[in-house]
Amino acid sequence: MELVQTRNIFDQKITVIKGDLIGRKILKHGAYDKAGLFLIERLLSGLESPVCLDVGANIGNHSLVMSRYSAKVISFEPQPAVFKVLVKNLEDNKILNVQPLQFGLSDWSGQASMNVVDASNTGATSFASHAGAAESIEAELRRGDDEVKRLGISSIDFIKIDVEGLETFVIEGLRESIASYKPIIMLEWNSSATREGFRDKELFSKILYGYSAFSVSSNHEKPAGGESKLAKLSRKFSRKFLKPRVRLGQFDAAQDYGNVVLVPLEKQDVVRKRFVIDA
């Protein structure tokens, strides 16, 4: 595994895995998941000393940004080789408010096999079974609520989840923490496993009762309905020279989104003050 060090768009040192999808995006654009990162920046800067969980931290692309605006971040990454890069990135930036932990979160505790679906995309390695997996890695899972208690966490303001279709299990494992602390949650919504898990376990009507879901997009992304030549030029100029303007929009559970943000009733005023919400 060849490593390359660069700087991200927030001027933080970041070592990436050469050839890996996340690494390629960071080397080319200075960031991976820009819309998600700028949502985190704008959201957390409006909260008072937030405590955050980064579930599926990978090399720390999101944890590094969270650290700038948080009192504490707990980052969970079960892949041994990737975890070492995460730790290096925290050490190289002298970040002391992020606690990296080498295990994943779920609704149970024990050893499990992670399936390497694509050797050029460490972010696609998952505990979910996959017929086309090239190899497997033994890693540890722990029940989220047990870890929150063990770590003495007394509040959680924001949770980012990127676990390749197993978001349902993470949320079920954190059901007591979600009920107690009502964190804002950002997660990927681009797999049938996620959609079916939320539906079958009725998460929106049970664990996430009272939450509202919004899609996340930015003016750097090509609109689904097409665009004029002028709009395209404007978008490319903005993407090259300006920060993206993150927008929250309507959420359709049947559609795919890079990210969605789940907001409890108690924090909706905070979110509405920080973002334009498209009708």
pLDDT tens profile 155-214? 999 999 999 888 999 999 999 999 999 999 999 999 899 999 999 999 999 999 999 999
The secondary structure of residue 41, as a DSSP letter, is H
Identify the helix (H) or strand (E) that includes residue 49: none
pLDDT tens-digit profile of 227-276? 788 888 888 877 777 788 899 999 999 999 999 999 999 999 999 999 98
pLDDT above 70: percentage of residues in the chain: 91
Q: Give me the chain's average pLDDT, please.
A: 90
pLDDT in tens, 132-172: 545 677 889 999 999 999 999 999 999 999 998 889 999 99
pLDDT of residue 158: 98
The Cα–Cα gap between 213 and 216 comes to 10
Strands 72-76 and 98-101 turn out to be parallel
The answer to whether the CB of 160 falls within 8 A of the CB of 54 is yes
Q: How many CB atoms lie within 10 A of CB 158?
A: 23
What pLDDT, in 10s, does the model give residues 3-30? Answer: 999 999 999 999 999 989 999 999 998 9
**Alpha-carbon gap, residue 196 to 258, rounded angstroms:** 17
Q: Looking at residue 259, what is its pLDDT?
A: 96
Residue 123 confidence (pLDDT): 44
- The domain covering 3-105+152-277 belongs, at the CATH homologous superfamily level, to Vaccinia Virus protein VP39 (3.40.50.150)
Give Cα separations from 46 to 41, 49, 56, 63, 279 (angstroms). Answer: 9, 9, 24, 17, 23
Cα–Cα distance measured from residue 87 to residue 256, given in angstroms and rounded to the nearest whole number: 32
Q: Quick one: which of 163, 160, 98 has its CA closest to 124?
A: 163
pLDDT at 96: 98
> What is the per-residue pLDDT for 50?
98
pLDDT tens sequence across 96-118: 999 999 999 999 999 987 676 55
pTM exceeds 0.75 for this model: yes
pLDDT at 121: 46
